[in-house]
């Protein structure tokens, strides 16, 4: 009996020793760690870390289709073209990261515009780098961006404030919550400068209540009759927007811009192409949310010709509309607008009345 027990014990010890030796010879292979995309909440919603870096990326954009049906008369003669389909696709790419100089920001915007009457125009609409208060790149001019275009109104026909693009460099600093900006730019619009750059200085103050802004710019090439470049001249612009007034969803904003001694491309804008010189422009915009999904708005703007103008007198513009948030990410908008321009010769007077339908898919 002892012999059997001894034999079994010896066998158990031997098997254990063999098993231990075999386990020691096995190479353990650890699975490679999986790298998941991490949410970056430092800069707000929609950002995530680029794998392998500490930079944060956000991508957004929209697809927009607009039908414009209008009746235009010139000197009492009606234009035969009444409808126009316009489409746009936009993709915004933002990359932000923290550095020893503060937040390094870069913005890239790709955009395609087209209509039923023409092929799409595809290209770069914005390319911007900013850090430590400095900005350099290509995009909407400070003259427009600091004032929210038509004071951030949702109107399609939103006045005559002259959207333009430029290559620019500027610096902004905050003093007692007022942001001061100093810079220079070369515009790329229809009335682009032959002498560059144009210099500008601006101030903007804002909060939960809204904002107020002021800008002065010196145009190296003022405009004389026929859009012939003249000596330099200055222009200035002020605007404000008040939001959620009286604890309601009612917003109101206004802007005013004027030239100094001569017409500039910033106030006259595209009008200068036909010799029309504008002395000043102004506008007023209001909007109110009737429900969480329905917003109404009204915009009025006007332009006045220079005292020396022998052709153009003034323009009056009105737009009223509704924006319906049908579902998350999809807006349907309708608008009625009227525009009247008076000239010295009644045969040049223009009157336009139209209805706009717009569908916007955004993300």
Domain extents for the chain? 140-327
Give the integer Cα–Cα distance in Å for 111 and 90: 4
Tokens at residue 356, please?
Answer: 């706009």
Q: What is the model's pLDDT at position 254?
A: 95
Q: What is the model's pLDDT at position 275?
A: 54
pTM beyond 0.85, yes or no: no
Return the closest-CA partner of residue 56 out of 68, 67, 44, 72.
Answer: 44
Give the integer Cα–Cα distance in Å for 111 and 122: 6
325 beta partners: 331
Q: What is the model's pLDDT at position 103?
A: 97
Ramachandran quadrant class, 269 (left: phi over 0; alpha: psi -120 to 50; beta: rest) = left
Please say whether the beta carbons of 241 and 252 come within 8 A. Answer: yes
SS3 85: strand
Q: How many other CB atoms sit within 10 Å of the CB of residue 139?
A: 20
Tokens at residue 45, please?
Answer: 């919603």
Tokens at residue 230, please?
Answer: 């003249």
Radius of gyration of the chain from Cα atoms? 31
Give the integer Cα–Cα distance in Å for 91 and 174: 30
Q: What is the DSSP letter of 46?
A: T
Tokens at residue 183, please?
Answer: 């810079």
Tokens at residue 8, please?
Answer: 């079994």
SS3 291: coil
Give the integer Cα–Cα distance in Å for 61 and 220: 35
Tokens at residue 121, please?
Answer: 């125009």
How would you label 228-251 residue by residue, b for 16+ Cβ within 10 Å and e otherwise? ebeebbbbbbbbbbebeeeeeeeb
Q: What is the DSSP letter of 263?
A: B
Give the integer Cα–Cα distance in Å for 268 and 312: 11
Q: What is the model's pLDDT at position 76?
A: 87
Note down pLDDT in tens along the chain; length 363 residues.
445 555 445 544 444 454 544 444 545 556 655 567 899 999 999 999 999 999 999 999 999 999 999 999 999 898 877 788 999 999 999 999 999 999 999 999 999 999 988 888 899 999 999 999 999 999 998 998 999 877 888 999 887 666 788 999 999 999 999 999 999 998 865 444 556 789 999 999 999 999 999 999 998 876 654 444 457 889 999 999 999 988 888 999 999 999 887 778 788 765 544 556 788 999 999 999 999 999 999 999 999 887 777 788 889 999 999 999 999 999 999 999 999 989 888 888 999 999 999 999 999
Q: What is the DSSP letter of 348?
A: G
Q: What is the model's pLDDT at position 94?
A: 98
Please say whether the beta carbons of 241 and 251 come within 8 A. Answer: yes
Q: Which fold has domain 140-327?
A: Porin (2.40.160)
**Cβ neighbours of residue 69 closer than 8 Å, sequence gap 6 or more:** 82, 83, 354, 355, 356
Measured in degrees and rounded to the nearest 5, phi and psi for residue 318 equal -140, 135
Q: How many other CB atoms sit within 10 Å of the CB of residue 333?
A: 21
Angle at 171 between CA 168 and CA 176, to 5 degrees: 145
Tokens at residue 229, please?
Answer: 């470049």
Sign of CA dihedral 46, 49, 54, 57: negative
Q: What is the DSSP letter of 244?
A: S
């Amino acid at each position: 009996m002892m012999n059997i027990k001894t034999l079994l014990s010896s066998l158990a010890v031997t098997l254990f020793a063999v098993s231990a030796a075999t386990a020691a010879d096995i190479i353990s292979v650890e699975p490679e760690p999986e790298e998941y995309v991490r949410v970056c909440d430092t800069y707000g919603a929609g950002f995530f870390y680029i794998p392998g870096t500490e930079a944060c990326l956000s991508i957004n954009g929209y697809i927009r289709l607009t039908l414009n049906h209008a009746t235009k008369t010139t000197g009492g003669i009606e234009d035969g073209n009444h409808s126009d389909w316009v489409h746009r696709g936009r993709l915004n790419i933002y990359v932000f990261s923290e550095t020893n100089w503060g937040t390094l920001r870069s913005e890239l915007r790709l955009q395609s515009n087209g209509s039923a009457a023409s092929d799409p125009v595809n290209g770069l609409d914005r390319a911007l780098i900013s850090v430590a208060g400095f900005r350099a790149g290509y995009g909407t001019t400070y003259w427009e961006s600091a004032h929210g275009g038509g004071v951030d109104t949702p109107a399609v026909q939103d006045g005559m404030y002259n959207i333009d693009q430029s290559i620019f460099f500027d610096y902004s600093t905050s003093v007692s919550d007022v942001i001061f900006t100093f810079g220079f730019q070369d515009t790329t619009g229809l009335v682009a400068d032959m002498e560059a750059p144009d210099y500008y200085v601006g101030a903007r103050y804002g909060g939960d209540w809204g904002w107020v802004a002021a800008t002065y710019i010196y145009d190296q090439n003022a405009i004389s009759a026929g859009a012939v470049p003249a000596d330099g001249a200055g222009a200035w612009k002020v605007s404000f927007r008040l939001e959620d007034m009286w604890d309601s969803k009612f917003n109101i904003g206004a802007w005013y811009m004027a030239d100094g001694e001569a017409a500039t491309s910033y106030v006259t804008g595209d009008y200068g192409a036909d010799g029309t010189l504008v002395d000043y422009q102004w506008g007023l915009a209001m909007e109110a949310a009737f429900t969480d999904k329905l917003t109404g708005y009204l915009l009025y703007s006007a332009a006045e010709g220079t005292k020396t103008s022998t052709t153009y007198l003034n323009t009056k513009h009105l737009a009223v509309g509704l924006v319906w948030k049908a579902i998350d990410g999809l807006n349907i908008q309708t608008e009625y607008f009227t525009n009247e321009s008076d000239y010295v010769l009644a045969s040049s007077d223009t009157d336009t009345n139209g209805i706009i339908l717009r569908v916007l898919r955004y993300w």
